[in-house]
């Protein structure tokens, strides 16, 4: 099975963490949750989820993972300021591993400088940021291009999770 990193800061969108996390773990994949520091409890912006990261983002090695999932909410905006999160996201993308970003998570992709020339989707309020970074923005449930998977909002989580699982299945079958 695959090994997947989730990177979070406080105020992540609760369901955008929980739904893909549950789907991946139920499918038997190993999931590692990383935050700005290991062991520091993080709470979702709606207060429905509380997560204690397994490790610090700065301790992650891209070579150890098959995929990266970045939930939305206010978390990605905070992670943009964490050089380790930007560096890890860039490394995962540049080495061809699957990077999945939902809702506001596209803002971290901007700082990682990985979306130029790609078609993406997101929460509409960051559309201009993504376009200014060289991406083409579309209003679709899920967009897959290169090794990137993007979705717009919590309503898209079933399709977003399905896309991640399909990518991981391809990887495991290869």
Asked if pLDDT for residue 161 goes beyond 80, the answer is yes
pLDDT at 171: 76
Six-digit token pair at 172?
């495991």
Residue-range domain boundaries for the chain: 3-173
Six-digit token pair at 16?
């955008």
Instruction: Please provide the average confidence, as pLDDT, over all residues in the chain.
Output: 97
d(CA 90, CA 150): 15
What's the chain's length in residues? 174
pLDDT at 118: 98
Confidence of residue 103 (pLDDT cuts 50, 70, 90): very high
Q: Which of 70, 103, 142, 149 is catalytic?
A: 103
Pick the CATH number of 3-173 from 3.40.50.880, 1.10.150.120, 3.20.19.10, 3.30.565.10: 3.40.50.880
Q: For 128-158, write each residue's pLDDT tens digit.
A: 999 999 999 999 999 999 999 999 999 999 9
Q: For 62-94, write each residue's pLDDT tens digit.
A: 999 999 999 999 999 999 999 999 999 999 999
Confidence of residue 170 (pLDDT cuts 50, 70, 90): confident
Torsion 84-88-90-94 (CA) sign: positive
Known active-site residue 103: yes
pLDDT at 3: 97
Which residue, among 93, 80, 65, has the nearest Cα to 4 in the 3D structure? 65
Please report which residue ranges of 113-146 form alpha helices under DSSP H: 127-132
Six-digit token pair at 130?
């993504």
């Amino acid at each position: 099975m695959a090994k997947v990193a989730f990177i979070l800061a406080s105020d992540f969108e609760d369901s955008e963490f929980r739904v893909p996390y549950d789907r991946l773990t139920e499918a038997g994949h190993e999931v590692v949750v990383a935050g700005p520091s290991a062991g520091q409890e993080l709470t979702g912006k709606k207060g429905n989820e509380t997560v204690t990261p397994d490790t610090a983002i700065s301790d992650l090695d891209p070579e150890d993972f098959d995929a990266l999932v970045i939930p939305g909410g206010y978390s990605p905006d905070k992670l943009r300021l964490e050089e380790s999160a930007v560096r890890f996201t860039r490394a995962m993308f540049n080495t061809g591993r699957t990077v999945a970003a939902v809702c506001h998570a596209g803002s971290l992709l901007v700082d990682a400088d990985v979306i130029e020339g790609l078609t993406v989707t997101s929460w509409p309020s960051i559309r201009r940021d993504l376009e200014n970074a060289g991406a083409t923005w579309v209003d679709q449930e899920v967009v897959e291009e290169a090794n990137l998977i993007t979705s717009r909002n919590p309503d898209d989580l079933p399709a977003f999770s399905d896309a991640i699982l399909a990518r991981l299945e391809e990887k495991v079958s290869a």
